[in-house]
Amino acid sequence: MGDLLKIKGGKPLQGQIKAAGAKNAMTKLLVASLLSDKKCTFHNVPNIGDVEITVNLCREIGSEVQWDKKNHTLEIVTHELKTSYVPQRYSGSNRIPILMIGALMGRTDEDIIVPTLGGDMLGSRPVDLHINALQKLGAHIEYRDMKKEGAYLAHAHHGLKGAVINLNYPSVGATENTILAAVRAKGTTLIRNAAIEPEIIDLILFLQKLGANIMVDVDRTICIQHAHQFHEVEHTIMTDRNEVASYAMCAISTKGRVFIEGAEHLQMIAFLNKIREIGGGFTVKPNGIEFFHNGLLKGGVHIETDVHPGFMTDWQQPFVVLLTQTSGCSIIHETVYENRFGYAATLKEMGADIELFTQCLGGKTCRFAACNHHHSLVVKGPSPLHAKEIAIPDLRAGFAYVMAALLAPEVSTISNVDFLDRGYEDLVGKLTALGADITRVVQPKKHPEKTKTALHHLLAEKSLTPV
């Protein structure tokens, strides 16, 4: 059984915290470092589970890593690859292993084996856009379906060659995978309708230092040229805009005041607009942003989650909790994932007035219009929230539950805390520093037994050894 959180809510959060480096940038940069045999030094590295998992994965692939957690710095160098097999135990952990295909293909002639992907259950989460783009660059990729699990087998025995890739949706992961592969593909690659999230720009900045020539055009086209030479890199990870928004919403909803050092204005534009619309307060300062309750919070907003520069899908879960504290009726239309309102049932049990709809509410139709998924939501407030025993289903829903518990005056018990550890550095320490009544109850750890799987047989067939 995993650790538990006990939260007694009802207190306004007050004080100052420092924002961590971005999970969704750091994990990708570790993978990107595998493109070359040069040393990469990172600063502002977040001490979170997903970085830990990715570091362990890189070590298995052959990287030497020195991680100074106290100073948030990390050095990684991969002189040579020990294996190009992503062990099965990593495949259920997050969305990083599939990026190994793009990063390793230009570095090895061996098959790259990536067992079926994990990550939060937010919908079907296919990888067709990754696979199609990599195939266009010359990769040979096949999926082997086995009894208990499946795996992608990829190689580029004849090398990769630049191509024009049209993504039919600006997927973050598919854009990253294609960029990674394109850096070592001969000639020029154009990705049309690419994702341009700030974390992707951070990846591009890193790759430019490493030796790549990458240009982002105004129309979502990214142009990558074959890199011939690599260099040592020193890079500071961008601030985690999800973490900033999460604590900002806690400050405003609990009627408190919190300064978040390191919060970057540029990454928060869409979020700040919505905070202002509901009457929340913020002041942008030279070294961060202060968020505060500014009198009555009003609903009546319409939010459509979208790719950057739109309102992030990762902000919507805590924003719904915030909207339960506003007066009036608001609409959220989730257009990125078809199934990201699973947490609403628990919020309703805590006292929220929420209704889900399969239609696209708010004017614009999205690609889920005719699919019968509950991807629109109406929330009415203000509603007092009450404590509950809650099991976390995924990272962002998990933070929404923490926030709801901070608003409920009784004690809530939250399980599956591992999800929060994946993306929020020192959550208990930061909330305690802000005056929250929160304790982590540590439970004894279970050691899963290693079992022989169908994948082991496939590896044996290909004379590869799982690490």
Q: Which residues are catalytic?
A: 120
Under 8 Å between Cβ of 242 and 199: no
Distances (CA, A) of 111 to 78, 85, 152, 342, 362: 18, 8, 10, 38, 47
Q: Identify whether the C-beta of residue 16 lies closer than 8 Å to the C-beta of residue 261.
A: yes
Residue nearest to ligand EPU (CB): 173
For residues 143 and 150, is the Cβ–Cβ distance under 8 A? yes
Calculate the alpha carbon distances from 45 to 37, 49, 66, 295, 313 in Å: 21, 12, 12, 36, 23
In the bound state with ligand EPU, the residue whose beta carbon lies nearer, of 3 and 338, is 338
Write down the least CB distance from residue 121 to ligand EPU, Å.
10
60 with 87: CB under 8 angstroms?
Answer: yes
Minimal distance, residue 454 CB to ligand EPU, in Å? 24
- As measured in angstroms, the least distance from the Cβ of 160 to ligand EPU is 19
Q: Which is nearer to ligand EPU, 128 or 349 (CB)?
A: 128
Tell me how far, at minimum, the Cβ of 57 lies from ligand EPU, in Å. Answer: 13
Give per-residue burial for 146-156: e unless 16+ CB within 10 Å, then b: eeebbbbbbbb
Cα 57 from Cα 178, distance rounded (Å): 20
> Which residue is listed with tokens 């086995």?
146
Of 112 and 195, the one with the shorter C-beta distance to ligand EPU is: 195
Nearer residue to ligand EPU within complex by CB, 126 or 409: 126
Q: Among residues 193 and 383, whose Cβ is nearest to ligand EPU?
A: 193
CA distance 225 to 122: 34
List, as one string, the DSSP characters of 169-200: S--HHHHHHHHHHHHTSBSEEEEET----HHH
CA pair distance 86, 117, nearest whole angstrom: 11
Which residues contact ligand EPU by CB under 6 A? 24, 95, 120, 123-130, 169, 171-174, 195, 197, 313-314, 336-337, 395-396, 423
Distance of closest approach, residue 24 Cβ to ligand EPU, in angstroms: 4
